[in-house]
């Protein structure tokens, strides 16, 4: 069974969406988790836009990096520069990918404009998770 770990700064948006899509799309031959270098809590807009595409992440919670899970992963995906730069060292056997996606939590404007940013990031994450599945 392959194991993937999605990391971002606060484990509130991008990594949570990636975990949700991976759980839905990668199948039972993958163990999937997400974490952050800090805990910022689950962003309600991430929950909302994922529900729009039928993926329920409402029961997820913000977690810190688990070194045992990190070091036993086949793939570690960082979704922001902060996580990439602060990620602890991993064994050479762990493949690393960096998906430099904007932080939707930093979006400004009306609620509709903020949700549009969340949707754009969500859709990019979905495409990247689908690419992981195709490469498997």
Residues noted as catalytic: 8, 80, 87
Three-state SS string over the chain comes to CEEEEEEECCCCCHHHHHHHHHHHHCCCCEEEEEEECCCCCCCHHHHHHHHHCCCCCCCCCCCECCHHHHHCCCEEEECCHHHHHHCCCCCCCCEEEECCCCCHHHCCCCHHHHHHHHHHHHHHHHHHHHHHHHHC
């Amino acid at each position: 069974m392959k194991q993937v770990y999605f990391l971002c700064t606060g484990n509130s948006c991008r990594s949570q969406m990636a975990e949700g899509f991976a759980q839905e799309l990668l199948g039972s031959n993958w163990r999937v988790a997400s974490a952050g270098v800090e805990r910022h809590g689950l962003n309600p807009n991430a929950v909302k836009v994922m529900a729009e595409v039928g993926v329920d992440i409402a029961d997820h919670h913000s977690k810190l990096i688990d070194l045992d899970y990190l070091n036993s992963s086949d793939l570690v995906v960082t979704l922001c520069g902060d996580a990439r730069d602060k990620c602890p060292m991993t064994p050479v056997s762990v493949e690393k990918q960096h998906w430099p996606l904007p932080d939707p939590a930093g979006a400004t404007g009306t609620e509709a404009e903020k949700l549009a940013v969340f949707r754009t990031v969500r859709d990019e994450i979905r495409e990247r998770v689908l690419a992981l599945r195709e490469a498997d």
